[in-house]
Structure 1
Amino acid sequence: MTDTDTPARSRTGGRSARRALRSAPNFEMLPGLKRNIPECEVMNGSQVERIDAASMDILENVGVVFRDDIALADWKKAGAKVVGDTVFLDRGLVRGLIATIPSDFTYHARNPKNNVRLGGKNSVFVPMTGAPFLRDLNDVRRNPLLEDLAMFHKLSHMMPALHSSAHHIVEPYDHPISQRHLRITYSSMKYSDKMFMGMTTSPKNAEDVMDMCAILFGDEFIDNNPVTTGNCNGNSPLVWDETMLGAMRSFCKRNQPVLCSPFVLGGANTPASVAASVAQLNAEALSALAYTQVIRKGAPAIYGHYLSTVSMKSGAPMAGTPEISLMNFMIGQMARFYDIPWRTSNTLGGAKTFDAQAGYESATTLSSVVHAGANYIWHSAGWNEAGMHCSVAKFVVDAEQCAMAYRMAQGPNWDGFDDAVSAVSDIGPGGHYLGHPHTLENFQTAFFMPELFDNNSIEQWVAEGSVEVTERALSYAKKLLSEYQEPHLDPAKNEELLDYIARREREIPASDELNQSY
């Protein structure tokens, strides 16, 4: 098997065996994607250097606000100029610090078969997170519960192209805000044996996640191996706050990667310019990436961003616009310039239902981020209504789209090329290949066949009930959930995790108001 091959199921031969194979469910996770197509690079070398120079000028002369006394003290000790809460970063200091970030590393899942490499040509698809509403198995928009979160973690486990169960795909409203991170983390760990994300909603919450990871994997193991991912959002323009910086320290001290993610709404909190927006975003990301190395030199970190443009008519965030694609191409080039893995957002939609708008927006974004060479491809399933809801129907269709993108990004498969070409001389002019032995041998794997798109004739589609994609996807999700088998979790570790959650829930005030200062 080559690096670019998708693992094939074993085959016993015969038409009936092939038919059974074609209909048999296969929920085994695809290996981490190793891209074998060129990255789309929209800047030449001098333009990359121009963005770099502009970003370094911002860091040196405008500065970045770190609203955190510990971070300010850390920066002073590292040799940065600090005036009030503004840190002015010398470009030499920044370059020296980010040079110690690993260019790639391996994520360890609780099932070692699901370990994945990240960085360079290696990419992963991760579901969406953070939705305050869902569109459920009946396509009803409502508040989510913990059981809904578990449902999405189960679907994440069963979709081969998703490499993670993420964390709070939807917010479980039946648990207090101050305690949710515990139940969210446990759900991520229990219902899937893929890698997962860790909550960074406060420094203490991040420490709880680290404690739970230590229970699951062992203290020494997590100190030497990435097992989860934290996300730290900046407040554009040019501000990092105490909550995010404290959570960042909790992760970095334990050698766990964080996404250093400026929260960019192009034209609102960046200049109304693609290139200038990238220059500001790049400065913001570099300031946080450099700080991860102040915390712990050599700790893995990921150049991140959340990227949208805003409508100049309403101020609302948009998805799938040309400028978002261009900025992703440019950010990819900057991350490769610094030799740091990078994160982007995928399959974003602003539509209120799973309609044509959602499909166009998501497909545009998916295509651009794959061609941009993104490594950590977050929000890859379910995102709609600008992230306000996660749609079950869109979740499973997005996941299948990721599988299609996975196949495309592997590049052409040259295995068996000579045998395939020899079939041309067998058939000759005017024939067809449907009954040829080579076709019968390869028809299952030669071309991707989507489960959730209908490619039959209009007559057959009508005869089968004129079922559109949302209904088809919801039926498929119900079928998946009926076939779900929970991956084994060591009973002793499970008990220890539940004991930890029970203790912390006794210690943490359940009042949502108190959560803000906890």
Structure 2
Amino acid sequence: MTDLSPQRRRGGGRAARRAERTAPNFDMLPGLENTLPLTEIMNGSQVERIDAASMDILENVGVQFRDDIALGDWKRAGAKVVGEMVYLDRHLVRDLISTIPETFTYHARDPNKNVSLGGRNAVFVPMTGAPFLRDLEDKRRNPMLDDLAMFHKLSHMMPSLHSSAHHIVEPYDHPISQRHLRITYSSMKHSDKMFMGMTTSPKNAEDVMDMCAILFGEEFLETHPVTTGNCNGNSPLVWDETMLGAMRAFCRRNQPVLCSPFVLGGANTPASVPAAVAQLNAEALSALAYTQVIRRGAPAIYGHYLSTVSMKSGAPMAGTPEISQMNFMIGQMARFYGVPWRTSNTLGGAKTFDAQAGYESATTLSAVLHAGANYIWHSAGWNEAGMHCSVAKFIVDSEQCAMGYRMAQGLKWDDFDQALSAVGDIGPGGHYLGHPHTQDNFQEAFFMPELFDNNSIEQWVAEGSVEITERALNHAKHLLSEYQEPKLDEAKNEELLDYIARREREIPAADELNQTY
């Protein structure tokens, strides 16, 4: 006879809820709404001082636009153009950037994975661009297309990541000139989250836009951001033809771009945090303004890549105090202009996934959350100054982002009275482990990392003394064994493959022509 007493039903309900909570869950977390108090290290007059200094650079030093089309565009917009130098009046800059949307929504292949960006809304995006990887056996080697697919699958399965990015690692088994096609397809095929688009040349960017039009529809692109392009400036104060052509390809189709000066503090900026930010701000503003010359109202993101340079070796450094300070300052400047902004996350300069990598990454993650960043790029896998993507670090970084997400969500008050009543139930000297509130809420009350070991030393030794890298690699292998592909619509998949085949016939292999892409 089945016991249906209230106590048994309640206990069975808790057991069922516990089983559900401890089962693997690959559901993407919604876009983060960051509730943390923002760290603003400048007062109002200092923000205005940086703005004035940047506008003075734009008006009197100028920015070099190494692109005839952009120079013509600037002349028509009313800027002073002398050769390749563009001198931007501050009133013109302010007018142009005022038309950039402060917030917008990214639309994913799965509409349930759409995310908002700007204001208090943030997303975590994995690293890109690594020429090497540390693989599932922690061996450093050249990546192939299958390795890229592996990272796209892991991106799809990690709840804290809101994007599959694009070339997390460079697939060396495809020609450079054709690589962007396979990279974009892999992003689309292996995940139904949003993704990034290649900007390695203007034509490559056009190919990405064409593939997005196949996947989403040309008319949809006109009114819905679905991907992101990254356009890096050449600090100090140069924008080149490749990046500007790619920027036009994205903006004309109403797709957002990151306007990203590439800062190596002390090498291509002054050796001063405020002066470096003033230069970076001028560079970013010049590109943001140009996006609106291309298309008024197109979404655009204040971007940058930040690093300081070791005066001992000239090598870029990660996780330094000055990088955090610059992030705090840039967050204030982006909010001053009313535009969303991008930064980089969980950066490490270590050669392996060691304590240095962990300290640098944790410092960066904390700083960018407190700075109020919106597009939080390079959030998983980055090490060796971006030279390799580590599978182990990718997994742990993703969990760290989930922990940061939990912290930035703010306090949970909905069960406060119920939880407080447990104090009276237990009284002095008792414990709460068996209390119904604890049993019902233990999983949600406190974040419990899967990859950090908090057991006793005796239990850790008995279980094989497994350290974090091995645990992370084992977890990655387990995840990949459970991966289920979010199938593309068959007709769209065939159209994408046909497009790739046609373009690969049309594009000569860059290696054969000794070309740079």
Q: Shorter-chain-normalised TM-score: which range?
A: over 0.9
Residue of structure 2 in register with 1:383 after alignment: 382
The gaps in structure 1 that reach 5 residues or longer are: 1-10
Distance 1:237-1:13 versus aligned 2 partners, 3 A rule:
farther
Aligned with 1:262: secondary structure? strand
What is the aligned length?
A: 508
Q: What is the CA-CA distance between 1:267 and the residue it aligns to? A: 0.3
What residue in structure 2 maps to residue 161 of structure 1? 160
How far does the alpha carbon of each residue in 1:256-313 deviate from its partner, in whole angstroms, 9 at most, with x for none? 0000000000000000000000000000000000000000000000000000000010
Q: Per-residue deviation at 1:13?
A: 4.8
Asked if residue 234 in structure 1 is aligned to residue 242 in structure 2, the reply is no
Q: Contact (CA 8 Å) 1:167, 1:198: kept in 2 or not? A: yes
Query: 348-357 or 438-447, which moves further after superposition?
Result: 438-447
Counterpart AA for 1:457: S
Distance 1:513 1:56 in 2: 45
Whether the 8 Å contact between 2:250 and 2:256 is mirrored in structure 1 is yes
In the aligned structure 2, how far is the partner of 1:23 from the partner of 1:377? 28
Q: In structure 2, list runs of 5 or more residues that go unmatched.
A: 1-9
Contact 1:134-1:392 at 8 Å conserved across structures: yes
Residues 1:411 and 1:169: Cα distance change in structure 2 (over 3 Å)? same
Q: Is the contact made by 1:203 and 1:250 (CA closer than 8 Å) also made in structure 2?
A: yes
Contact 2:106 2:224 in 1 (8 A): yes
CA contact (8 A) 2:14 2:440 kept: no
TM-score by length of 2: 0.97
Quote how far apart the aligned CAs of 1:431 are.
1.6
Of 441-450 and 426-435, the range deviating more from structure 2: 426-435
Per-residue deviation, residues 331-377 of structure 1 (Å, max 9, x unmatched): 00000000100000000000000000000000000000011000000
* Offset of residue 23 of structure 1: 3.2
Shift of 1:418: 1.1
Q: Could you tell me which residue of structure 2 aligns to residue 247 of structure 1? A: 246
Q: CA RMSD in A?
A: 1.1
Give the corresponding residue for 1:301.
300
Which whole-Å CA distance do the structure 2 matches of 1:12 and 1:124 have between them?
38
Q: CA deviation at 1:17?
A: 1.9
Give secondary structure in 2 for the equivalent of 1:263: strand
Maintained 8 Å contact 2:160/2:398: yes
Distance 2:156 2:215 in 1: 18
Change (3 A) 1:517 1:148: closer
Q: CA deviation at 1:517?
A: 5.8
Distance in 1 separating the partners of 2:26 and 2:11: 20
Which residue matches 2:486?
Answer: 487
Within-5 A mapping of 1:98-497: 98-497=97-496
Matches within 5 A, 1:56-75: 56-75=55-74
Answer yes or no: is the 8 Å Cα contact 1:319–1:348 preserved in 2: yes
Partner Cα distance (2:353, 2:65) in 1: 40
Query: Equivalents in 1 of 2:51, 2:171: separation in Å?
Result: 41
Q: For the residues of structure 2 that align with 1:160 and 1:378, how far apart are their CA atoms? A: 16
Identity %: 86
Instruction: Give the aligned residue type for 1:275.
Output: P
- Pairwise CA distance, 1:15: 4.8
1:513 shift after superposition: 5.3
Offset of residue 19 of structure 1? 4.3
Please give the alpha-carbon distance, in whole angstroms, between the structure 2 residues aligned to 1:40 and 1:431: 40
Q: The residue matched to 2:122 in structure 1 has which SS?
A: strand
Residues 26-105 of structure 1 aligned to structure 2 (within 5 Å): 26-105=25-104
CA 1:12/1:227 → structure 2, altered by over 3 Å: closer, same or farther? farther
The alignment partner of 2:264 has SS state of strand
Deviation at 1:419, TM superposition (A): 1.1
Query: CA–CA distance in 2 between the matches of 1:250 and 1:456?
Result: 53
Paired residues of 1:177 and 1:515 also in contact (CA < 8 A)? no
Q: Is the CA contact (8 Å cut-off) linking 2:510 and 2:516 kept in structure 1?
A: no
Identify the residue that residue 6 of structure 1 maps to in structure 2: none
- SS of 2:292's equivalent in the other structure is helix
Show the counterpart of 1:4: none
Q: 1:150-202 CA distances to partner (integer Å, 9 max, x unpaired)?
A: 00000000000000000000000000000000000000000000000000000
Q: C-alpha distance in 2, partners of 1:81/1:15?
A: 70
SS of residue in 2 equivalent to 1:66: strand
**1:436 shift after superposition:** 1.1
* TM-score, normalisation: structure 1: 0.97
- Structure 2 CA distance for partners of 1:13 and 1:196, relative to 1, 3 Å: farther
Residues 12/489 of structure 1: CA separation in 2 closer, same or farther (3 Å cut): farther
Q: For the residues of structure 2 that align with 1:86 and 1:13, how far apart are their CA atoms?
A: 73
Q: Partners in 1 of 2:515 and 2:258 — Cα distance?
A: 23
Q: Partners in 2 of 1:517 and 1:125 — Cα distance?
A: 31
Q: Confirm or deny: 8 A CA contact 1:157 1:191 kept in the other structure.
A: yes
Aligned mates of 2:378, 2:339 — CA distance in 1: 20
